[in-house]
Amino acid sequence: MPIRDLTRLWTILRRLTPLVLSFIRDRRRWLWFGAPLQRSPAFHERRAHAIVHQVATLGPTFVKLAQIFASRADLIPEPYLHALGTLTDRVPPVPWPTLRAALADAWQADPDTIVTALDPEPMAAGSLGQVHRARYEGRDVVVKVLRPGVEAIVDRDVRLSRKIVNAVYARWTHVHVLGFRVVLDEFDRHVREEMDFEREAMQCLRMRERFADEPRLRIPTVETALTRRTVLVLEFLEGTRIDRLDEQLARGVVRAETLTETLIETYARMMLRDGVFHADPHPGNLLVDRRGRLVLLDFGMVIDVPVATRKALLDTILSAIRRDAEGTVRGMYALGMVAPGTPPDTMRALVATLLDIAYSDTATIERARVVADRVLQELFNWPIILPGELVYFARTAALIEGVGARYDRHFNSIRVASPIMLRLRKELLAALLGDSGKREPLVTWAATLGALAGTAYTMVQRWWPGERPKEAAQVN
């Protein structure tokens, strides 16, 4: 191993090993023996902040990985999940002279001769790129520049991280270590695509074409004449971050229900209809403009979803909507979501629990908190793995759940998604099955009727003034 790699490996281990040992001591006081240490909530909070600090000091690769892990409740428990989420868009900016030199090298010209009013203060400093305002031919634009040297840094850090995780998994074949390997492999496949801004421009144009008839969604135009592999120039679209909409909601500019429905429809069409998926949906990439339209930014991480995965995912979603635990379990196995060697009975018990949680009455904040805690506890302790594209689908689901819960204390994602998925069902089936989707089999109609019945039942359960079903009363 080169000396430079050894030095970096030592830096990674020096910063992360004390934290790993701290987690081991949660189970064995003296690492190899002894009773578990009692940890207070305050201790977990302090350790979560320490992890965030160490990850930030390790640089862009680890910050980007942390953004993915921040949506993985199956691998990361609270309060660590929330703490990792704070790393989004909080990367120190590259000094302007360094970035300006990189821009001049890409354009082979003085940047001030290409664009005007180029602002040296960044609008955003991400883990891979940095964004600045400018004007081009009388239009407001944003100029995104790849961080100089970041490609070599990411390549080295991914290589070393894989060596560390593989060494751990060889000695401890735990489902969570396997989950870390899956995330790392998927990150490695897509992060190089994300650092190619010409590819991002193509994906942005592709997405604009697919959603050209959607008036609730805005996607920026691309200034193709100025775009290079390390520079991307886009139309400037103004809006408010999706997690900072309290004022707009109070003024009636946007409604929480409309916003979550638009999110669900948009991402369902991407994932299931088109198979072209915006895979980096953190709040900094989703804005709402003055007319209440959703603004979608940053197409660096756009992935293609195979038809087989889309079909299996749609079947699983429809099974969950109609509260079919057996069908949901079959779908999870088909999607590769189950850890090797897990008995089907174990998965049936997990799915039954999750569906019970999803359809339970959550009429109070306290009850909703209990339900949320129970979901996170189940996901962390049960043998679920999110392979391939589902890693990013989980990020989207987490975002929608977070937005819905922030603006509506009664939010229940399955109840909101059920009528939307039923409305989109024919469109999605036509895309997945082609001409055969025009003549839908009897089982599809049965599934639809079951879903409608399940949705109607939960609505009656929630609003009927009579006695609540026993299973809802047991969630406490």
Please measure the distance between the N-terminal and C-terminal CA atoms of the chain and give it in whole angstroms.
54
What's the Cα-to-Cα distance from 157 to each of 10, 174, 185, 331, rounded to whole Å?
12, 23, 13, 35
pLDDT band at 181 (very low <50, low <70, confident <90, very high): confident
Regarding predicted confidence, which is higher, 145 or 465? 145
pLDDT of residue 412: 75
> What is the rounded distance in angstroms from the CA atom of residue 8 to the CA atom of residue 2?
10
**Whether residues 106 and 78 fall in one domain:** no
- In this structure, of 364-368, 373-377, 460-464, the range with the lowest mean pLDDT score is 460-464
Residue pair 408/283 in contact (Cβ under 8 Å)? The answer is no
Tens-place pLDDT, residues 63-118: 888 877 776 666 777 888 888 877 765 567 899 999 999 999 999 999 999 999 99
**Whether residues 335 and 373 fall in one domain:** yes
**Whether residues 239 and 359 fall in one domain:** no
| Residue 235: alpha-carbon gap to chain centroid | 25
Tens-place pLDDT, residues 421-470: 888 888 888 888 864 444 333 333 343 344 344 434 333 433 343 433 33
The string of DSSP letters for 408-453 reads: -TT--HHHHHHHHHHHHHHHHHHHHHGGGGGS--HHHHHHHHHHHH
**Nearest to residue 205, comparing CAs of 233, 230, 177?**
233
**Whether residues 310 and 366 fall in one domain:** yes
Regarding predicted confidence, which is higher, 270 or 369? 270
Regarding predicted confidence, which is higher, 20 or 434? 20
pLDDT of residue 343: 80
pLDDT band at 51 (very low <50, low <70, confident <90, very high): very high
pLDDT of residue 73: 64
| Residue 429: alpha-carbon gap to chain centroid | 25
Residue pair 401/409 in contact (Cβ under 8 Å)? The answer is no
pLDDT band at 281 (very low <50, low <70, confident <90, very high): confident
CA diameter of the chain: 74
CB atoms within 10 A of CB 475: 15
- In this structure, of 279-293, 300-314, 372-386, the range with the lowest mean pLDDT score is 372-386
**Whether residues 188 and 203 fall in one domain:** no
> What is the rounded distance in angstroms from the CA atom of residue 256 to the CA atom of residue 408?
7
318 Cβ partners below 8 Å, 6+ apart?
Answer: 327, 421, 425, 447, 451
**Whether residues 134 and 49 fall in one domain:** no
pLDDT of residue 382: 58
- Is 224's pLDDT higher than 90? yes
Amino acid identity for residue 5 in this structure: D
**Whether residues 432 and 294 fall in one domain:** no
> What is the rounded distance in angstroms from the CA atom of residue 398 to the CA atom of residue 417?
14
pLDDT of residue 380: 54
What average pLDDT does the segment 247-255 reach? 86
**Whether residues 292 and 205 fall in one domain:** yes
Per the domain annotation, does 398 fall within a domain? no
Per the domain annotation, does 262 fall within a domain? yes
> What is the rounded distance in angstroms from the CA atom of residue 404 to the CA atom of residue 263?
10
- Which domain does 124 fall in, by range? 96-148+196-302
- Is 62's pLDDT higher than 70? yes
